Amino acid sequence: MVRPGDEGERNAKSDYINQMSQGPQEAYEAQESSAGVNQLADQDLVAEVLRKDRKATAEFVARCADHVYAYVRRRLIPRTDLVDDLVQEVFLAAWENLDKFRGDSPLRSWLLGIARHKVEDHYRKRLRELPFRDEGEDSSEEPASSLDLEETLAKRQAGQRTREILKMLPEKYALILLWRYWEKRSLRDIAVQIGRTEKSVERLLARARQQFKKRWNEQQS
Amino acid sequence: MNSNPENGDRLFELLAKQPEEAEPERAPSRLKAKLLTSLVQKQQESGPLRTLAETRANGYGLCVFEDLWERVTSAEGAQSFNCCSLCHARVLAEHWETAPIYWGHCPYAAFGKK
């Protein structure tokens, strides 16, 4: 520990004065780069966070927040207004369960597992809340009007356009498509989770696919 | 586009396999600041934080205020005090993407660094 009068303190003071003479931004950069900011292994970092080390906790946030945020944002389309709250829930749940982290997988993957559960909770909750036209509707899919989707897929250019269309779709359609295909949940699973019949989920999914394809073709034309 | 639902499934399964953006979207630094604040608050609910002396001994740098606090206090309870809870840097960082914080070892400043 550096105490007043120590040689360490004098060195620290002289470093600080040198850094301040460079201007505040440069001083800041210099201090950060000379900080020897710990690049701890995941398990060591977790141990430090569990000991309630505030700086390790900051490192934990810095290390994982971008990945969790990107994942949650993509899965919450079009409700990006909810992303911050959900990311916060993920980190608080992570803190509650951090003692269970064994280091079998990278810390980021472990957090993404929690994020996945939180996103599924969101899908379940929203699909239960949203109005659900169920019976007597024609859910047959649009006949083939264009092969554009297959062509684009073949060229592997579909990612950006898919995200744009998911953002434009009504929320329930985006949710059901994401849950079924991106999260790879079965119709049966989804039906159980939201308290609907498998048939009605299938109809919703068919309408969602139809709307997606319609917008895809509209964008193309 | 095929009207067979199974083919519809296949197409969407392929769409879902499309590569994500190469660069993951960065979380806003404001969000990181809020995450840190809430995590530290949660940690405090179950007892004191690690002392500043232990944090320093662990290889982490202290900011100018933490450094000062560590020098002028000696009681362990005081050493566990979360200086950030009173610091304007935290408030700025929670509201601005690039908060004007120029001193070193402030985690809130680090979040704003691109």
Which domains, from first to last, does chain A contain? 1-36 (no CATH), 42-129 (1.10.1740.10), 148-220 (1.10.10)
Q: Could you tell me which chain B residue has the CA closest to the CA of A4?
A: B71
Residue ranges of chain A with pLDDT lower than 70? 1-39, 133-157, 221
Per-residue pLDDT band at B100 (split at 50, 70, 90) = confident
Q: Is B33 inside a domain boundary?
A: yes
* pTM, two decimal places: 0.76
Q: Do A1 and B57 touch (CB under 8 A)?
A: yes
**Residues on chain A touching B113 (C-beta within 8 angstroms):** 32
Residue B70 has pLDDT above 70, yes or no: yes
Q: Is B14 inside a domain boundary?
A: no
Q: How many domains does chain B have?
A: 1
Q: Do B50 and A53 touch (CB under 8 A)?
A: yes
pLDDT at position A133:
66
The whole-angstrom separation of Cα A118 and Cα A121 is 5
Q: What is the mean pLDDT of residues B40-64?
A: 94
Residue B4 has pLDDT above 60, yes or no: no
H or E stretch at A112: helix A107-129
Structure token pair of residue B6: 């199974």
Is the Cα dihedral A125, A68, B47, B91 positive or negative? negative
Q: Is B2 inside a domain boundary?
A: no
**Residues on chain B touching A67 (C-beta within 8 angstroms):** 24
Triad A138, A140, A145: Cα angle to 5°: 125
Q: What is the mean pLDDT of residues B23-47?
A: 92
Q: Is B12 inside a domain boundary?
A: no
pLDDT at position A62:
95
The whole-angstrom separation of Cα A110 and Cα A114 is 7
**Residues on chain A touching B18 (C-beta within 8 angstroms):** 153, 156, 158-159, 162
Q: Is B54 inside a domain boundary?
A: yes
CA A28 to each of CA A58, A217, B70, B114: distance values in angstroms, whole numbers, following the listed order: 17, 52, 21, 14
Q: Could you tell me which chain A residue has the CA closest to the CA of B46?
A: A52
Q: Is B3 inside a domain boundary?
A: no
Q: Do B3 and A140 touch (CB under 8 A)?
A: yes
Interface test with A, best of B17, B26, B37, B60 (most A CBs within 10 A): B60
Per-residue pLDDT band at B7 (split at 50, 70, 90) = low
**Residue of A57, A70, A147 lying closest to B36 (CB–CB):** A57
What phi and psi, each to the nearest 5 degrees, are found at residue B71? -75, -35
Q: Is B10 inside a domain boundary?
A: no
**Residue of A74, A156, A181 lying closest to B12 (CB–CB):** A181
pLDDT at position A33:
42
Q: What is the mean pLDDT of residues B82-108?
A: 90
Q: Do B60 and A65 touch (CB under 8 A)?
A: no
ipTM: 0.87
**Residues on chain B touching A54 (C-beta within 8 angstroms):** 40, 43, 49-50, 55, 82, 84, 107
Mean pLDDT computed over every residue of chain B: 85
B99 near A26, Cβ under 8 Å? Answer: no
**Residues on chain A touching B34 (C-beta within 8 angstroms):** 84, 88
Per-residue pLDDT band at B51 (split at 50, 70, 90) = very high
Domain residues for the domain of B103 are: 25-112
pLDDT at position A219:
76
pLDDT at position B62:
94
**Residues on chain A touching B27 (C-beta within 8 angstroms):** 65-66, 68-70, 87
